[in-house]
Amino acid sequence: MLKQTIKNFVSRLLAAPPNGPERLARDKHGIDRRLVSRHAIKVCEVLNQHGFDAYIVGGAVRDLIVGLAPKDFDVATNATPAQIRPLFRRARIIGRRFQLVHVVFGQEVIETSTFRAPSSGNQETDEHGRILRDNEFGTHEEDAARRDFTINALYYDPIKEEVIDFHQGVADLKNRVVRMIGDPETRYREDPVRMLRALRFAAKLGARIDPPTEQPITRLAGLIEHVPASRLFDETLKLLTCGHAMDCLRQLRRSGLTQNLMPLIDRIFEEQGGEDFVEIALSRTDARVRSGKPVSPSFLFAALLWRLVHQRWQALANDGLQRTEALIQAADSVIDDQTHKLAIQRRYQSDMREIWLMQARFERATVRSIWRLLDQPRFRAAVDFLQLRAEAREVDSVLAQWWMDLANSSEDRRNQMIDTWQAGHTGARNAPAWRRRKRRPRAAEGAGQSESQA
Summarize pLDDT for 64-101 with one digit per residue, the tens. Answer: 999 988 989 999 999 999 999 999 999 999 987 688 99
Does residue 209 fall inside a structural domain? no
In the chain, the number of structural domains is 2
Mark whether 396 is an active-site residue: no
Active-site residue, selected from the candidate residues 63, 74, 191, 247 = 74
DSSP alpha helices (H): ranges in 176-296? 184-190, 193-205, 211-220, 229-240, 245-255, 258-261, 263-270, 274-290
Task: Using alpha carbons, select from 125, 115, 203 the residue that is nearest to residue 166.
Answer: 115
CATH of residue 33's domain is 3.30.460.10
On whether the CB atoms of residues 450 and 384 are closer than 8 A, the answer is: yes
pLDDT of residue 2: 44
The residue from 142, 176, 210 where one domain ends is: 176
Mark whether 148 is an active-site residue: yes
Does residue 383 fall inside a structural domain? yes
* Predicted TM-score (pTM) above 0.85: no
Phi, psi of 275 (to 5 degrees): -65, -35
The residue from 120, 149, 176 where one domain ends is: 176
pLDDT of residue 200: 94
Does residue 140 fall inside a structural domain? yes
Q: How many CB atoms lie within 10 A of CB 314?
A: 14
CATH of residue 329's domain is 1.10.3090.10
The per-residue pLDDT string of the chain (454 residues; one tens digit each, 9 = 90 and over) reads: 444 444 444 444 445 555 678 999 999 999 999 999 999 999 999 999 999 999 999 899 999 999 988 989 999 999 999 999 999 999 999 987 688 999 999 999 999 999 998 766 555 555 555 555 556 889 999 999 999 999 999 999 999 999 999 999 999 999 999 999 999 999 999 899 999 999 999 999 999 999 999 999 999 999 998 888 888 888 989 999 999 999 999 889 888 888 877 777 888 888 777 888 999 999 999 998 888 888 899 999 999 999 989 999 999 999 999 999 999 999 999 998 877 777 788 899 999 999 999 999 998 888 888 999 999 999 999 999 999 999 999 999 999 999 999 999 998 999 999 988 888 765 544 444 434 444 444 444 343 445 555 5
How many angstroms from the chain centroid is the CA of residue 339? 17
Question: Which stretches of 86-137 are assigned E, i.e. beta strand?
Answer: 91-94, 100-105, 108-114, 124-125, 131-133
Residues 272 and 171 in one domain: no
Does residue 225 fall inside a structural domain? no
**Element housing 355 (H / E):** helix 346-363
Q: How far apart are CA 314 and CA 178, in angstroms?
A: 44
- What is the DSSP track for 127-149? TTS-EEE---B--HHHHHHHSSB
What's the chain's average pLDDT?
A: 86
Residues 163 and 272 in one domain: no
Sign of CA dihedral 173, 178, 183, 186: positive
Alpha-carbon distance values, 66 to 69, 152, 201, 204, 329 (Å): 9, 12, 12, 11, 47
pLDDT of residue 432: 43
Residues 422 and 317 in one domain: yes
Collapsing DSSP states into helix, strand and coil, what is residue 32?
coil
Mark whether 384 is an active-site residue: no
Active-site residue, selected from the candidate residues 134, 148, 172, 210 = 148
The residue from 155, 176, 197 where one domain ends is: 176
pLDDT of residue 430: 44
Does residue 183 fall inside a structural domain? no
Does residue 154 fall inside a structural domain? yes
pLDDT of residue 454: 57
In our burial notation (b when 16+ CB lie closer than 10 A, e otherwise), range 69-84 reads: ebeebbbbbbbebebb
Residue 354's domain comprises 268-444
Active-site residue, selected from the candidate residues 32, 72, 234, 336 = 72
Residues 171 and 278 in one domain: no
Does residue 255 fall inside a structural domain? no
Does residue 215 fall inside a structural domain? no
